[in-house]
Chains A and B, each alone.
Chain A
Amino acid sequence: MTMLTLNRVTRYFGGLAAVNDVSFEAEANQITGLIGPNGAGKTTLLNLISGLDQPASGEIRFMDRAIQKLPPHKINQLGIARTYQNIRLFAEMSALDNIIVGMHTQGKAGLLSAALSLPGYRAEEKRLREQALQLAERLGLGSFCNTPADALSYGDQRRVEIARALAAHPKLLLLDEPTAGMNAAETARLGELILSLRDEGLAALVIEHDMSFIAQVCDHVVVLNFGEVIARGTVDAVKSDPTVVAAYLGEEEAADA
């Protein structure tokens, strides 16, 4: 089943087409890799999907609904959550509080019930807190729950961001270079986590430069270069595609290889 469909999506910055006529699908229950050299338009694409930016033309469909004109919070409520390439945690908040903020759509207690500390509000807070703790445990953050986010190591901050995105119970997770700043062991563990989440029914779109990570987790890969899709398919098929090799290594080396 197709979960996310991009149909001829284009976004200009000035005269430059950062994303040019891009079409691809991300399937439910699959991890789709989005790779390409720096400046290929990968992060722009993620911004378009998550609603932080709007395409000049084209259509983005999520679960059979056009979302390209929706504001970011509506898109999140439909079931898309994301992380950021340059980590954007709430710095002074604890790791656990960051995750609880991510649960915004999971609660519904209003201001009044909070101000009066009604039982419904207290039960909800308790439930959110327990879920956040479980999520933190699952991502190996159990011992950092009360540490301010900006005091954590780079790899731990990445995991807090992933936990914060997962806290919204998304159907589709967008990860922007999740392994950047992680060591090999952390990267391998993250790969296992993403695969286990997929087995539970989550779909993901992953931007990544670490090709072994892509090979580990991705069912399907889309290659971007200068804002255009130059190849798509399984990891092995894409790796041996001459246009992809040329995009990464340059024309001459590709010819030599």
Chain B
Amino acid sequence: MNIFSEFWATYGSVVQFALINMLLGISIYFTLYTGLLSLANAGFMGIGAYVSAALTIHAGTPFPVSLLVGALSAALIGWLLGLPVLRLRDVYLAIATLGFGEIVRITAVNFDKFSGLTLLGGAQGLDGIPKLTTPVSLLFVLFILCIFLVQLHRSRAGRALAAIRRDESVAATMGIDVYQYKLLAFVLGAFVAGLAGGFSAHLTRFVGPNDFSFSAAVNILAFAVLGGTLHWSGALVGAAILTILPEALRFMKEYRGIVNGVILVLVIIYLPHGLVNPKWIRGIFRRKEAR
């Protein structure tokens, strides 16, 4: 066995979890970038996971179809949810979206059989999902998303989102339909969270209602807070670190949770904008140009 396959045998699943978490980081980045504090992403992930897993198991659809339908379902629910809740702001929006996450979880707990068919598995969850997620498929989707983000930020829609985050009323007096653009960011976030849910279900081979609880919502938020929301790569960095750190700290046994928390708190105190600051990135490019 060469070094790579040895490494992969031990850490392969961690890497794939990190990639899925990067998707979740991007999903919350869409809303945070627009200045929306939404905690619905765990719920959207749950919808994507359940819908795609149920399709694969009961309807036998190919993996890409299950994945896409799961993500589109999350986006559709996101649109329906966004219509009323995006009238809210700040902490009120956070609470409303947190409530939505609980609705998804409780629905999953109580929705076990539908006309005699074990559809979602209720409180016990849905198991026996075929393992169809591959590192290549994850990397492919992540790559496409990164290109999309780069293009988005250069575009008219991306500028509108950035303007809304900085000053909503000024954006509105410049002809930007603030509500519609918030809805767009919300639905994009829901779609990507749904994708992550589908990948996760087909990686762990299990979907349970408790995977999408309050703590999952907060974890997703932590990816973006740690990495920063001024640049999309922040969400990727944050997700990677918060996935790998607990594994890297495994030698600390029962103290690793504490150390993990301390590191997070230190970053928030000393780097309030997160680990990735676009000014530094621009600085690096400028230095290169000067040479």
> Hey, which bits of chain A sit against chain B, CB under 8 A?
50-52, 71-73, 75-77, 81-82, 84, 88, 90-93, 97, 100-102, 104-105, 107, 109-111, 114-117, 121, 124-125, 164, 168
Q: Which residue of B lies closest to A109 (CB)?
A: B156
A90/B173 in contact, CB under 8 A = no
**Option from B157, B170, B175 in Cβ contact (under 8 Å) with A114:** B157
Complex Cα distance, B176 from A77, in Å, reads 9
Q: Distance (Å) between the CB of B173 and the closest chain A CB?
A: 5
Please report which residues of chain B, range 139-186, place their CB below 8 angstroms from some CB of chain A when the two chains form the complex.
147-148, 151-152, 154-160, 162-163, 166-167, 169-178, 184
Identify which of B158, B160, B167, B169 gathers the most chain A CB atoms within 10 Å of its CB. Answer: B169
Main secondary structure of the interface of B (DSSP, over half): helix
> Hey, which bits of chain B sit against chain A, CB under 8 A?
147-148, 151-152, 154-160, 162-163, 166-167, 169-178, 184
Complex Cα distance, B167 from A72, in Å, reads 13
B156/A104 in contact, CB under 8 A = yes
B172/A52 in contact, CB under 8 A = yes
**Option from B159, B169, B178 in Cβ contact (under 8 Å) with A101:** B159
Complex Cα distance, B172 from A102, in Å, reads 10
Q: Distance (Å) between the CB of B172 and the closest chain A CB?
A: 4
Contacts known (A90-B162, A90-B167); A114 close to B173, Cβ less than 8 A: no
B175/A52 in contact, CB under 8 A = no
A88/B156 in contact, CB under 8 A = no
29 contacts between A and B (CB under 8 A): A51-B172, A51-B173, A52-B169, A52-B172, A71-B172, A72-B169, A73-B175, A77-B175, A84-B170, A88-B170, A97-B159, A101-B160, A101-B171, A104-B159, A104-B160, A104-B175, A104-B176, A105-B174, A105-B175, A107-B156, A109-B156, A111-B152, A111-B157, A114-B154, A114-B155, A114-B157, A115-B147, A115-B152, A125-B155
Query: Which 6 A-B residue pairings sit nearest by Cβ, starting from the closest?
Result: A114-B155, A72-B172, A105-B175, A76-B175, A90-B166, A72-B173
**Option from B155, B166, B176 in Cβ contact (under 8 Å) with A91:** B166
A101/B172 in contact, CB under 8 A = no
Identify which of B158, B159, B171, B175 gathers the most chain A CB atoms within 10 Å of its CB. Answer: B175
Complex Cα distance, B178 from A54, in Å, reads 17
- Besides A92-B166, A104-B176, 20 other CB < 8 A contacts? A72-B169, A73-B175, A73-B176, A73-B177, A76-B174, A88-B170, A90-B170, A91-B166, A93-B162, A100-B159, A101-B159, A101-B174, A104-B163, A107-B156, A110-B157, A111-B184, A114-B155, A116-B151, A121-B155, A125-B155
Q: Which residue of B lies closest to A77 (CB)?
A: B175
Complex Cα distance, B169 from A101, in Å, reads 13
Q: Which residue of A lies closest to B144 (CB)?
A: A115
Which residues of chain B have C-beta atoms less than 8 A from A90's C-beta? 162-163, 166-167, 170
Q: Which residue of A lies closest to B170 (CB)?
A: A88
Q: Distance (Å) between the CB of B65 and the closest chain A CB?
A: 21
Which residues of chain B have C-beta atoms less than 8 A from A73's C-beta? 172-178
Which residues of chain B have C-beta atoms less than 8 A from A72's C-beta? 169, 172-173
B174/A125 in contact, CB under 8 A = no
Which residues of chain B have C-beta atoms less than 8 A from A104's C-beta? 156, 159-160, 163, 174-176
Q: Distance (Å) between the CB of B87 and the closest chain A CB?
A: 13
Complex Cα distance, B172 from A101, in Å, reads 11
Which residues of chain A have C-beta atoms less than 8 A from B172's C-beta? 51-52, 71-73, 76
Which residues of chain A have C-beta atoms less than 8 A from B169's C-beta? 52, 72
Q: Distance (Å) between the CB of A2 and the closest chain B CB?
A: 22
